Amino acid sequence: MTRLLEVRNLRASYGGRRILEDVSLHVGESEVVTVIGHNGAGKSTLLRSIFRLVPWSEGEILLKGEPIHRFAPNRILAAGLAYVPQHRSIFPKLTVGENLWMGGYLVADKALLARRLRDVEQLFPLLAERRAQLAGTLSGGEQRMLEVARTLLTDPRVIMLDEPSIGLAPRMVDAVFETVRLLRGRGKAVLMVEQNVKKALAASDRGYVMTLGEIKLEDAAPRLIGDPRVAQLYMGQLKTAP
């Protein structure tokens, strides 16, 4: 499987305290990969570091085999790597349709942008139905759907999702992970950080387990679901994996 995104030996620190320690991972074509771990394990810092939103000291990040670790976030997005943050990033006082158009600000060809918008609305018919509704009046799950849909207007190869199900009602949690499967079906690769371990792994091909800023386990997602070491590492009961 072709590796679309590769992270090699990434190290990052805050205020002199090391957060990430030699983190390496990869995501292949049309693959969903989830990083799980306890709070404070460094999962969100990992995604923010990849997107150059926090400083980091050592390592390499490759997208389609090309180094992007010196790019600014806007160039990373233009190169084909998108990031949906944990905290809501919609424009609440703009309509759903206006939010979607904002997602296409890097697309200079207006006809191409219009075609992508039609494709996205076919993919998410609920958003098409609510095109004129203020985005701030959507439910939490619908807002997350809007964020993902808006991201697709740049036609990224890889999408990073930071805690996509956080704070959502159970019904909308299921909808979020169905959206992840939908993205894979559309040929997108997904790198996801998530606290809802079972549901995230059930929607994934592979997974990594982080603790104290290090990758401790990597395996196929179905095997990780039943692996007793995952529970131990997730709860911080082990410092190293056997």
Confidence of residue 241 (pLDDT cuts 50, 70, 90): very low
* 221: nearest Cα among 199, 237, 193: 199
Has residue 234 got a pLDDT over 70?
Answer: no
Name residue, tokens 């590796």.
Answer: 3
Strands annotated E in the chain? 3-14, 17-28, 32-37, 58-63, 66-67, 81-84, 158-162, 189-193, 206-211, 214-220
pLDDT value, residue 32:
98
Q: For 23-50, what is the mean pLDDT?
A: 94
* 37: nearest Cα among 211, 199, 167, 206: 211
CB atoms closer than 10 angstroms to residue 138: 21
pLDDT value, residue 228:
87
pLDDT value, residue 125:
92
Per this entry, what is the length of the chain?
242
Structural domains of the chain in order of their starting residue, each with its CATH number: 3-234 (3.40.50.300)
Q: Tell me the pTM.
A: 0.91
Has residue 27 got a pLDDT over 60?
Answer: yes
Confidence of residue 230 (pLDDT cuts 50, 70, 90): confident
Helix (H) or strand (E) holding 55: none
Give the chain's mean pLDDT.
Answer: 90
Describe the strand order of the beta sheet including 81-84 as a list of residue ranges: 81-84, 158-162, 189-193, 32-37, 206-211, 214-220
Q: For 21-44, what is the mean pLDDT?
A: 94
Q: For 106-127, how does the pLDDT look when each residue is reduced to its tens digit (9 = 90+)?
A: 788 999 999 999 999 998 999 9
Has residue 25 got a pLDDT over 90?
Answer: yes
Q: For 135-180, how does the pLDDT look when each residue is reduced to its tens digit (9 = 90+)?
A: 999 998 899 999 999 999 999 999 999 999 988 888 889 989 999 9
Confidence of residue 55 (pLDDT cuts 50, 70, 90): confident
For residue 5, list its beta bridge partners: 27, 63
Per-residue tokens: 101: 């158009």
Has residue 242 got a pLDDT over 60?
Answer: no
pLDDT value, residue 214:
94
Has residue 67 got a pLDDT over 80?
Answer: yes
Confidence of residue 65 (pLDDT cuts 50, 70, 90): very high
* 88-92: long-range contacts, CB 8 A cutoff, minimum separation 24: 88/140, 88/143, 88/144, 88/147, 89/147, 90/135, 90/136, 90/138, 90/143, 90/146, 90/147, 90/150, 91/135, 92/134, 92/135, 92/136
| Greater pLDDT, 226 or 219 | 219
